[in-house]
Amino acid sequence: MNWLNKLERKFGRYAIHNLTLYLIGGYIIGFGVYMFVPNLLNLLTLEPAYILHGQIWRIISWVLIPPSGNIFTTVIMMLFYYSLGTALERTWGAFRYNVYIFSGILFTVIGAFLLYLIVGVDAVGYGVFFSTYYINMSIFLAFAVSYPDMEVLLYFILPIKMKWMALVYAALTIYDLVRGNLFTRIAIIASLLNFIVFFLSSRNVKPYMPKEQMRKRKFKQEQERPHMTYAGGARHRCAVCGRTELDDPNLEFRFCSKCNGNYEYCQDHLFTHEHVK
């Protein structure tokens, strides 16, 4: 994703930090509307026909509509997705997380207008098919891919790994996709397209996965440590063969992230040594 790297270097400082908190705040506003002035929700849905007739706020106001449920399930949902979203933002960085969320919103809007063109310019009332439900699903799936072995308590009782929950949700989504009508299919594909784009190729996200981030942080810490000096004033020495940069100026040295301790290896032994435990 070279284009994304370039965008991050150029616009990364404008990223919205703690974006999930703002999304949750929008849900709170939407839930308040649902509780006290429910008729107002009809003015918030994503309806291209009304947008093209001047109600441009609908392009973004549909994000305020919370998933259906009572106040208890809504609060649990908000807390759950807040924890997932903030974890992803810490893992990927604010800019990439912003791109992921806003691309999901953008693809949903594009999907709604595509459906508008397919069904007919006079079609209205299908805005209810486009909600943040599958965008939240994309957050969940992204977290499950990043932290597949993390366990959560299902119904606060049963421990289950994220990867198994993701497989269940993916199966249910595929079922909805197969059995649903045209409206449902376009809504699902559009809302989850950001997940498909980001995870279509594992190499695009590998540098931002937790294990890789941890390895980089550990390497940076090792590099920042005061270097020991060896015979002749050498600053690097291979823990296997004992060679230093004085023996061969072309040698490269790296710390091993899998060894317990401050062990440095030359390029000939970095991948072949026995890890120190």
Q: Residues 76-87: pLDDT tens digits?
A: 888 888 989 998
* Structure confidence at residue 181 (pLDDT): 85
Q: Which whole number is the average pLDDT over 89-118?
A: 89
Per-residue confidence band for 216, with pLDDT thresholds at 50, 70 and 90 = low
Lowest mean pLDDT among 128-137, 148-157, 258-267: 148-157
Per-residue confidence band for 107, with pLDDT thresholds at 50, 70 and 90 = very high
Q: How far is residue 61's CA from residue 46's CA, in Å, rounded to a whole number?
A: 8
Q: Is the pLDDT of residue 214 over 80?
A: no
Tell me which residue of 187, 193, 259 sits closest to 222, measured CA to CA.
259
Q: Is the pLDDT of residue 69 over 90?
A: no
Domain ranges of the chain: 2-208, 227-266
Q: Is the pLDDT of residue 201 over 60?
A: no
Which of the two residues, 123 and 201, has the higher pLDDT score? 123
Q: Which whole number is the average pLDDT over 140-146?
A: 87
Residue 203: exposed, middle, or buried by beta-carbon count in 10 A (0-12, 13-18, 19+)? exposed
* Structure confidence at residue 56 (pLDDT): 93
Lowest mean pLDDT among 42-56, 167-181, 193-207, 245-259: 193-207
90: CB partners within 8 A, 6+ apart: none
Tokens of 253: 């040295």
Tokens of 255: 């710390």
Per-residue confidence band for 122, with pLDDT thresholds at 50, 70 and 90 = low
Q: Is the pTM of this model over 0.75?
A: no
Q: 29 with 22: CB under 8 angstroms? A: no
Q: Which whole number is the average pLDDT over 200-227?
A: 56
Per-residue confidence band for 228, with pLDDT thresholds at 50, 70 and 90 = low
* Structure confidence at residue 210 (pLDDT): 58
| Beta bridge partners of residue 272, listed in sequence order | none
CA angle in degrees (0–180, nearest 5) for 202-215-136: 45
Q: How far is residue 92's CA from residue 89's CA, in Å, rounded to a whole number?
A: 5
CATH 1.20.1540 fits 2-208, yes or no: yes
The CA-to-CA distance between both ends of the chain, in Å, stands at 36
* Structure confidence at residue 22 (pLDDT): 92
* Structure confidence at residue 102 (pLDDT): 92
Q: Is the pLDDT of residue 196 over 60?
A: yes
* Structure confidence at residue 215 (pLDDT): 58
Q: Is the pLDDT of residue 106 over 90?
A: yes
Q: Which whole number is the average pLDDT over 131-144?
A: 87
Which of the two residues, 257 and 32, has the higher pLDDT score? 32
Lowest mean pLDDT among 66-75, 80-89, 241-250, 263-272: 66-75
Q: Which whole number is the average pLDDT over 51-73?
A: 86
183: CB partners within 8 A, 6+ apart: 115, 126, 129
Tell me which residue of 134, 136, 113 sits closest to 48, measured CA to CA.
113
CA angle in degrees (0–180, nearest 5) for 131-51-104: 35
Residue 155: exposed, middle, or buried by beta-carbon count in 10 A (0-12, 13-18, 19+)? exposed
CA distances from 112 to 65, 99, 119, 136, 137 (A): 16, 20, 10, 18, 18
Return contacts of 254-257, CB within 8 angstroms, 24+ apart.
254/219, 255/218, 255/219, 255/222, 255/223, 257/214, 257/215, 257/218, 257/219
* Structure confidence at residue 12 (pLDDT): 85
